[in-house]
Structure formats: C-alpha cells, structure tokens
Amino acid sequence: MKLAEVQADNLAAYKRVLKLMGNRFEFTVVADDGSWANEQIDKAIAEVQRIEKLLTTFSEDSQTNEINRNAGIKPVKVDEEVFGLIARSLKISELTQGAFDITYGSIDKSLWNFDQSMTSLPSAEVAKQSVRLINYQNVILDATNTTVFLKDAGMRIGFGGIGKGYAADKAKLLLQAQGITSGIVNAAGDLVSWGTQPNGTPWTVAIADPDQSTVPFSKLNISGMAIATSGNYEKYVTINGKKYSHTIDPTTGLPVSGIKSVSIISPSAELSDAMATPVMVMGVKVGLDLINQLKHMACIIVDDHNKIHSSHNINIKN
C-alpha cells in the first residue's frame, strides 16, 4: 500500500509540442519517469509520421495521391488501414447525407481564397459547378482486393476532415500499449484523453469563445473521451457585413454561415473530427437532431448570435 502511495506522489505530466501533418500536435503522458515517458512520446510521434505518409496529398508517393492520379482510370490497391479509413469515411457521408465528403479535394480552389481579395461570392451556378466532382457515391471500394477507385477523372480525395482525429486515436492506442495509463493527444484541437491527471482528477477541456479564441466560455470533463471543434474564427471572409466560414457546403459550393463553432464529444477523435464539419454545414437544428439520435455522442454549437445550443446528453460547466 505504501509503495502505491509513493508512486502516485511521483507522477507527473510530461508534454511535447511539435508540428505534424501540417498542424500543432501536443502529447501529454502521465508517468513517474521522465526519460521513459519521453521515449514513449517519441514512439507516438513516429506513429503519426507514419500515418501522415499514407494520407498526405503533399507527397507524390502517398497512397492518397496514387488514388487521385488514377481517378477515372483504374482501381488502386491500398493498405487495409487506408481502405478501412475510407470505408468509415463513406459511412459518415451516408449518415450526414453528404455534408461530410472526403472527395471535397475535387473542389475548384480557384474560387476560394478567403483573404482580403475576396469581396464577393461566386454566383450559385458557378459555385455549383465548382463542386460537380464532389460525390462520395462515386468512390468504389473492393473489400476483397482492398482497392479504391474514383469513378470520374479529376476527382480527388483528402483526409483533412478526419485524418488528424484518426492519427490522434492511433497515437493514443500505441501509448496505451506501451503502458501509459493516462494522457492526452491533441491534434490541433482534435483531442483524445484517457486516465486522469497526476493528482487523480479528471482531464478537463475548455471550449473557446469563438470571438476570443483564447478565452473559454465553458469547461468539460473529458477523461476517456475525445473532442473536436470546427469554427469559423480561424479562416473566414466578411462580405457585406456577413461572415462566411472557410467550410464549403459540398451540395451548393457556397461557404456556410450561421454557426461560429461546433464541438463534438465522442469516444473517438476520428469520429469527433469527422462529425464537427458536417454539423456546421447542416445548421443548428438539423445538426442537433442528428447528434441527438446517435449514441455516445454530444455536441455544443455557438451560433452567429452567440447563442449556445447543446445536445440532450451534455452538461456544460461555466
């Protein structure tokens, strides 16, 4: 009994922050040996780097780019891991009726720069044309041969809406397998936690005020859970006094408005990451209706009028 008490007293949180997958990653592990803790963080970093090589669109030899190069030409054989992630992505597309779609990489980016030079929206016709190749139903999977085929030439997939969450989950699993019983992996706001803080209290996360991203408006206990936030406060444009998010509605080709931020809480960073953007696209009512139908998932929405909306099963602490 005394030995356990001594070990508990020696526990500390060891952190590492670095850029991975083009984003800020922060690893926190609780341990009683700093040298050993940092070795485990090194392994988690290597795991994220491995995933990045599979999923990136910035490297010619990634499996993602191989799929995109062969759009409209032939199926591409991929690792089971990549195949599984694409299959789960397509299920989320079905669940959200296309509000989440990994073929968003097909969008005509020449229309959207979201900087000071953008002073008007394109016409509805031009916007619709810009997203003509976005259609998750044209991703053909062959589970027997683990191949992926994009039906139309010019189609492109990308994992910007799910990849960071997936990497966070994989890093967590690796750390747990190495014996880390408490920790957090934070992939640019897609965050997964397990265990408790060194003093035994639950991990908590602050939800940022969308108008002051360094100021929280509430805190949540998230031990054993994951949370991801999608917001219009990081990249947006204001046209005629109205704020438009960099999030594009894949059905209209136009940027979404009406919501400042969406935070999704679930057991998996991958799922939280993937569900945050479609709720922004769906809007407050439809988004909340969907989340309220799903088990083990909760949602906090801040609308353009700073009103906070939450799903039935959440307890917000101010």
Six-digit token pair at 14? 């060891």
Q: What is the largest CA-CA distance in the chain?
A: 72
- The amino acid occupying position 182 is S
**CA angle, 30 then 85 then 82, to 5°:** 100
How high is the pLDDT of residue 255? 85
The answer to whether the Cα torsion of 247, 250, 255, 256 is positive or negative is: negative
3-state secondary structure of 152: coil
How high is the pLDDT of residue 285? 96
How high is the pLDDT of residue 305? 87
Query: In whole angstroms, what is the distance from residue 219 CA to residue 143 CA?
Result: 42
Query: In whole angstroms, what is the distance from residue 281 CA to residue 271 CA?
Result: 16
Per-residue three-class SS string for 155-190: CCCCCCCCHHHHHHHHHHHHHHHCCCCCEEEEECCE
**CA angle, 247 then 188 then 221, to 5°:** 105
How high is the pLDDT of residue 294? 94
How high is the pLDDT of residue 247? 84
- Among the residues of 108-155, which ranges form H helices? 124-130
pTM of the model: 0.90
Query: In whole angstroms, what is the distance from residue 252 CA to residue 184 CA?
Result: 37
Query: In whole angstroms, what is the distance from residue 103 CA to residue 136 CA?
Result: 6
> What phi and psi values does residue 130 have, to the nearest 5 degrees?
-65, -20
Sort residue 174 into left (φ over 0), alpha (ψ -120 to 50) or beta: alpha
b/e string for 165-187 if b means 16 or more Cβ within 10 A?
Answer: bbbbbbbbebbeeeebebbbbbb
3-state secondary structure of 192: strand
- The amino acid occupying position 39 is E
Six-digit token pair at 129? 């044309």
Query: In whole angstroms, what is the distance from residue 151 CA to residue 74 CA?
Result: 8
Query: In whole angstroms, what is the distance from residue 26 CA to residue 34 CA?
Result: 16
Six-digit token pair at 315? 């307890």
Contact 258, 223 (CB under 8 A): no
Q: What angle, rounded to 10 degrees, do the helices at 269-282 and 80-95 form? A: 30
Using DSSP bridges, classify how beta strands 298-303 and 226-231 pair: parallel, antiparallel or unpaired: unpaired
pLDDT in 10s for each residue of the chain, 318 residues: 333 333 456 899 999 999 999 999 999 999 999 999 999 999 999 999 999 999 999 999 999 999 999 999 999 999 999 999 999 999 999 999 999 999 998 886 666 666 666 778 888 888 888 889 999 999 999 999 999 999 999 999 999 999 999 999 999 999 999 999 999 999 998 999 999 999 999 999 877 666 665 666 667 888 899 999 988 766 677 777 777 777 888 888 888 888 989 999 999 999 999 999 999 999 999 999 999 999 999 999 999 888 999 999 776 655
- The amino acid occupying position 85 is L
